[in-house]
Amino acid sequence: MKNNLLRVNLVNLRDFGRGNYRQLDDYAFGSGGMVFAAPQLKAALDFADIEGVKPFVIYPSPQGALISQELIESLAHQEHVIIFCGHYEGLDERFVEKYVDLEISIGDCVLTGGELPAMIIIDSMSRLVPGVVGKSKAVIEDSFYRGMLDNPNYTRPFDWEGLQVPEVLLSGNEKQISRWRRHESIKRTLTRRPDLISRASIRDYLADKVGVVILARDENIDLRGLISLCEAYNLSRPFVIAKSHELRETIKNLYPEAKVLGSLAKLSDGQNTLCVKIFSGSRENSLHSLEVKRRCLEHEGSILFIFAQDESELLDERLEGLSSYLYESGLNGLVPLNILIGTALDRFLGKR
Ligand code: SAH
């Protein structure tokens, strides 16, 4: 606030109360608890409203949407947020219906008032304002930002009560350190919060070698489109597998930049390649996308996402020695290959 990065104004609801006692609440019809009355709340809202900027009105409430990093990120885009802190039984429902944009709960427990939730909301929003946290990279690496938990952290002394800092962190080897950090994040998220994986951006946590393979039946592949799609997901150019020499030559002529091979076996580095065969239509034994994401995260070697113009070839394709999983997109074979590839890449590697 001192650096003008954000402004927080406190408005005392009492100032809008009725009579000598500046009364705000009244007995709840039916239950007898105390409830904040709508006219006083409205008077406070009118006062807090800044001309020209439509405020986004929040009511912290145990019945609201559970707070999350995603929710806070979308709130951080709001220029002007007004938070109504409840007390006793809360606010008159008619005020909530008419003027509250979002109810937010900080967890499945009941507090005496909305003040602490308001501070939680303000604090987590403010961390996303550029300049509030000294090192902006730190914000990105924190838990939840990419949907994964942060790695554990250590500082001096190296030896404390018989416990040492993991050796790798002192090695000075950037590559090994970042591999260790990725690995720890994955381990923590999978054991503590596997539910997060569905909404996590996992691209940065996967081994560097992640590729797309297309089994070609003919040359009707929009390879240029696919190359830019792969670039968007930070992947190298897709591999095209064409069985016949003739088709390989045709594709190379059409797309000199293509990586064309005669068989999938050429791509594997032994046991260390995980293959995910992706079908548009339904397949028995196919995995849920969450499970595919989980196995990709657990896998330390390269990963290949395999698509085919003719999906029956996907089943025929023998992948000796490679672990291979099936995944069905649910698109029912109704979409062009490019769209299947785009949606599948987004599901597994996209930003949350
Ligand atoms: N009668 C309400 C609880 C009121 S608690 C109910 O059962 O739903 C009093 C006030 O504390 C609420 O109006 C709200 O502003 C705040 N509060 C309590 N628990 C909260 C939670 N988990 N998240 C956010 N705000 C909460």
Q: How far apart are CA 70 and CA 346, in angstroms?
A: 18
State the distance from the centre of ligand 1 to the C-alpha of 14, rounded, in angstroms: 19
**Last residue of one domain, picked from the residues 200, 231, 253:** 200
Q: What is the pLDDT of residues 87-130, one digit of tens each?
A: 999 999 999 999 999 999 999 999 999 999 999 999 999 999 99
User: How does strand 159-160 pair with strand 163-164?
Assistant: antiparallel
Model pLDDT, residue 84: 98
User: Tell me, what CATH number does 312's domain have?
Assistant: 3.40.1280.10
> Is the separation of the CB atoms in 229 and 346 below 8 Å?
no
Ligand 1 in contact with 89 (CB < 6 A)? yes
Residue 284 forms part of a structural domain: yes
Model pLDDT, residue 94: 98
Q: Which amino acid is at 71?
A: L
Q: Nearest-CA neighbor of 151 among 126, 114, 187? A: 187
Q: Are residues 90 and 219 in the same domain?
A: no
Residue 337 forms part of a structural domain: yes
Q: Are residues 21 and 51 in the same domain?
A: yes
Q: Are residues 79 and 20 in the same domain?
A: yes
Structure tokens at 200: 């996590």
Ligand 1 in contact with 67 (CB < 6 A)? no
pLDDT mean over 18-22: 95
Which DSSP string do the residues of 6-57 spell out, in sequence order?
-------GGGG-BTTTTB-EEEPTTT--EEE-HHHHHHHHHHHPPTTSPPEE
Residue 285 forms part of a structural domain: yes
Q: Are residues 227 and 214 in the same domain?
A: yes
Which of the four pLDDT bands, split at 50, 70 and 90, describes residue 11?
A: very high
Residue 143 forms part of a structural domain: no
Q: How far apart are CA 339 and CA 330, in angstroms?
A: 12
How many residues does this entry show for the chain? Answer: 352
Model pLDDT, residue 264: 85
Model pLDDT, residue 308: 94
State the distance from the centre of ligand 1 to the C-alpha of 65, rounded, in angstroms: 12
Q: Are residues 102 and 181 in the same domain?
A: no
Q: Are residues 64 and 105 in the same domain?
A: yes
Residue 87 forms part of a structural domain: yes
Q: Are residues 33 and 114 in the same domain?
A: yes
For residue 101, what are the β-bridge partners? none
pLDDT mean over 331-352: 90
* Overall number of domains in the chain: 3
> Is the separation of the CB atoms in 58 and 82 below 8 Å?
yes
Which of the four pLDDT bands, split at 50, 70 and 90, describes residue 317?
A: low
Residue 213 forms part of a structural domain: yes
- Maximum alpha-carbon separation in the chain: 93
Residue 1 forms part of a structural domain: no
Ligand 1 in contact with 342 (CB < 6 A)? no
Take atom 4 of ligand 1 and give the residue whose Cα is closest.
Answer: 89
In terms of phi and psi (left: phi > 0; alpha: psi -120 to 50; beta: otherwise), the region of 197 is alpha
CB atoms within 10 A of CB 1: 9
pLDDT mean over 310-339: 82
Model pLDDT, residue 321: 60
Q: What is the pLDDT of residues 183-218, one digit of tens each?
A: 999 999 999 999 999 889 999 999 778 999 999 999
Q: How far apart are CA 309 and CA 317, in angstroms?
A: 13
Q: What does the buried/exposed string (b/e) look like for 310-321 if buried means 16 or more CB atoms within 10 Å of the residue's CB?
A: ebebbeebebee
Q: Are residues 263 and 339 in the same domain?
A: yes
Q: Are residues 304 and 175 in the same domain?
A: no
Domain membership of residue 29 as a residue range: 13-126
Q: Are residues 70 and 167 in the same domain?
A: no
Model pLDDT, residue 324: 85
Which DSSP string do the residues of 226-259 spell out, in sequence order?
HHHHHHHTT--PPEEE-SSHHHHHHHHHH-TT-E
Q: Are residues 194 and 323 in the same domain?
A: no
**Last residue of one domain, picked from the residues 104, 126, 148:** 126
Residue 190 forms part of a structural domain: yes
Model pLDDT, residue 141: 77
Structure tokens at 343: 């949606």
State the distance from the centre of ligand 1 to the C-alpha of 129, rounded, in angstroms: 27
Model pLDDT, residue 269: 67
Q: What is the pLDDT of residues 249-296, one digit of tens each?
A: 999 999 999 999 998 888 876 668 899 999 998 888 899 999 999 999
Q: Are residues 314 and 209 in the same domain?
A: yes
Averaged confidence pLDDT in the chain: 92
* Residue in 49, 73, 101, 142 annotated catalytic: 142
pLDDT of residue 181 exceeding 80: yes
Q: What is the pLDDT of residues 40-64, one digit of tens each?
A: 999 999 999 888 888 999 999 999 9
pLDDT mean over 221-226: 94
Structure tokens at 287: 């995995």
**What are the helix (H) ranges across 76-114?**
93-99
